[in-house]
Each structure stands twice: as C-alpha cells, then as structure tokens.
Structure 1
Amino acid sequence: MVEDSNGLRSIFLEELWNSPPRIMEPTCPIYDAPSNSDMVRHRIILSCDQVEKLKKWAGTKCKSIGLETLHLSTFVVTCSLIWVCKVKSKDPDTEVTDPKDDDSYCLTFLADCRNRSKLSVPSTYFGNCLTICHVELQKEKLVGENGILEAVSAIGGEVRGLRGDPLKGFEWIVSGRRRRELGRQSQHVMIIAGSPKLNVYETDFGWGRPKMSEILHADDAGAMCLSDCRNQERGGIEVGLALSAIQMKKFNAILDEQLGDIDIVVPHRILYTI
C-alpha cells in the first residue's frame, strides 16, 4: 500500500525470525489488587481556557530563552507539564538506577500516520497505521528551571517531524537492541496511553455516555492516560495517573507549584485508591 523506502519489511522479518518462540498464554497472572496496596489513581481535568493559557505561556517563554516551539498543541503542553511533575516527584532514595545509566528519561507515544503526505495511505484503508515516537531528555533538563519548556520543545519537535518522514528512524526503534535498552531504562520510561481525539466520552452503546473512562494497564505500565473531558467544553483534556500514595502527594504539590508559577488556577482533580 505504501512505498517501503526505509526497507522496514526485511527488518521486521529478520526481527521476527530471530525472536524466541512465544507461548500464546498470558505473560502475567490475572489477580485483584491487594487490599493493602498503596497505589492511588489521580485524574486531572484541564479546561480549554487553562490549556490555551498554558500554550501561550510556553510559546512566550520558549521564545524568550531561545528554544524552538515547532508544534504547540494540547497534547504537547499537557504531556510536558505532567512528565516534568512526575520526574520531579520521584524519590531518589528508592529509585533503582543502572551504573551505566546517564540519567536520561524517555517519553514514548504512538502517532497515526494515515494522513501523512509521505505515506499517502488511501482514505478507504480500514485499520491501524501507527508509528512510535520517542523523546529523550537528560534528567537535569527536565528538573531544571526550564524543564517544562525543554519538554515542550523536544516533544513538539518530534510531533512536527511526522510531517516529513513519519517512519524516519523506525527501524532503530523496533530493533532488538533498542528494546533491550528501553528495558534497562524501564524506571525512566513514561508511556502515553489514549488520546483526546478518540472522543471516548462520546461513545454511546444505547445506555448513555460513560461517566468515567479508565485504562487499566496504567497501574503497572506507569503510563500517562489522556482522553477528552465528559463535562467540559471541547478543547479540554483529562489526564490519568497511577502512583504510590507518597509519590502522588509530592506530585500534587509540584503540579500546584508549577501551575501557580504560570498563574493557572489549580485544575479539578479526582483522587482515589486502587
């Protein structure tokens, strides 16, 4: 359907051929969360006005310190804000580090390639056409004075790069060597799950729209979950996280401080145990 200018077909086949056989069974047991679990879920709701104020602040501040803002979207500014707050909330006394680790942190998300001019996938195509986007920043930049701005510039640059060649570097990302590297850095990888463009709260199977949407694997994967807002105007965004009670308390304090510095009213939030 699309021209394979990067030779991905042979790379995929080689990876599949060299991969060990897998037994078609669940890789982990299914069980209820223990009653003494200290994990809590946190849901943050940013209104359209709050998001627009965050975009304006990020654009102005990036320009003043010489950082490029190639793409300022709701996705970019929201992920930047939450990513920085989560990294800052980590307890250095309990964090497991690799002696070879250079303290780089990774943000990984999927992007839809169907409407990218480079691929020209037919409008009649029915199915997934996704690429993996990968942003990597040093910890010192994320936790520094301009951490959110550094994240905005890096994530925005990755999203903007999709306009050119959305599959650029894909052969390296899916390689076995890269997966092993990410495995070693699992403590430092944050995955984005969901998207506000999926409009989950508009879903109606005959008994009304959902009151709350959850992505269950977020607890174990350490993911940031994004969706549209049920009771907000279009342009708002809902963010879900699952952290330990201690880290969540620190995360909330840091988030309030960051928003206060930007002069944004503390957003509506829901906090509950798992």
Structure 2
Amino acid sequence: MSTSTNEKRSRLDPPIPATYFGNCDVKQMVVAFIKEVVGNDGFTCALEGISEALNRVKDEGVLNGAERWVWDMNEFMEGRISILGSPRFEVYSIDFGCGRPKKVDISSIDGEEAFSLNESRDIHGGVEID
C-alpha cells in the first residue's frame, strides 16, 4: 500500500504544508571501518549502518540535531575529499513542467575539498565536474 504525499509530509516535525513544492532531503552519516565494509560481511555491515540511520530519523525526527549538522560534518571531513552527485542521477532529464534545467549545481558543496559529478547536459555520455 502506498503512502500519499500528504501523509509523508505530515510525518515531519514540524509538518510541511501540502502546498510545498520541492525537495526535502536530509543527509544521514553512516560511519564504518573499511576492513568491515570490504570483508566477507561487508554488505551486512553497510546495511546495518543504513538501517540504524533510518531508525534514528524515524525515532528522533528528521530535523533532530540540525543545529550541529554543519559542525559535525566539518569535523568529520577534516582532511578528506567529498564527491557529491553522480552521472547516474540523470538530473538534466528531470522536467517539473518548465523544461529541462539549463545548469545544475550542488549547493551543499562548501570549500575546496569537494566536487560534484553530473552527466553532461548536451553531450551524451559526457560528465560535468564542478
């Protein structure tokens, strides 16, 4: 049985109005040791971490701890490089009724230690790196 959009929005605290148009995505961090993920039980390890993150959202709410998100992420990412997006998301094929996007940027990239990957808007098989 599918859940209607209004039912999904009312699960947020505070609820999102039915007139809202757009995305409401929240990142969750799953941390695991490389040796666990690439080991024989790697799939199970990854699945357990994802399950724990989903249960946190369900139990504590989508916005719980939001005041610390930037601080926690910056602390965790110290000395690391991030890649956001994927050419597989096909962001240039999305049309909300006003035509294909002319340019897609990932606004959550902050600093010099991150870059984004998207498929090319005009070149089949091409990749945009920002």
Partner of 2:70: 174
Question: Is there any run of 5+ residues in structure 1 with no aligned partner, and where?
Answer: 1-113, 226-239, 241-269
How far has the Cα of 1:123 moved from its partner? 0.9
Provide closer, same or farther for how the CA distance between residues 223 and 150 of structure 1 changes in structure 2, counting only shifts above 3 A.
Answer: farther
After TM superposition, the structure 1 = structure 2 runs for residues 18-37 of structure 1, keeping only pairs within 5 Å, are none
- SS of the aligned residue for 2:58 comes to coil
Quick one: distance in 1 between partners of 2:21 and 2:52?
29
Aligned residue identity for 1:158: A
Aligned residue identity for 1:117: R
Judge conservation of contact 1:116–1:162 (CA < 8 Å) in 2.
no
Partner of 1:33: none
Partner of 1:144: 39
Aligned residue identity for 1:201: S
Aligned residue identity for 1:125: Y
Judge conservation of contact 1:116–1:166 (CA < 8 Å) in 2.
no
Aligned residue identity for 1:135: V
Q: Which protein has the larger Cα radius of gyration, Structure 1 or Structure 2?
A: 1
- SS of the aligned residue for 2:28 comes to strand
Relative to its length, the structure with more strand (as a share) is 1
Judge conservation of contact 2:37–2:45 (CA < 8 Å) in 1.
yes
Question: Is there any run of 5+ residues in structure 2 with no aligned partner, and where?
Answer: 1-7, 120-124
Give percent identity, aligned residues only.
Answer: 21
Partner of 1:154: 49
Verify: 1:186 aligned to 2:80, yes or no.
Answer: yes
Quick one: distance in 2 between partners of 1:222 and 1:148?
27
- RMSD in angstroms over aligned alpha carbons? 4.4
Judge conservation of contact 1:191–1:223 (CA < 8 Å) in 2.
yes
- SS of the aligned residue for 1:121 comes to coil
Partner of 2:122: none
**Structure having greater relative contact order (Cα 8 Å, sep ≥ 6):** 1
Partner of 2:93: 201
Runs of 4+ in 1 over 4 A off after TM superposition: 126-130, 192-196, 214-218, 222-225
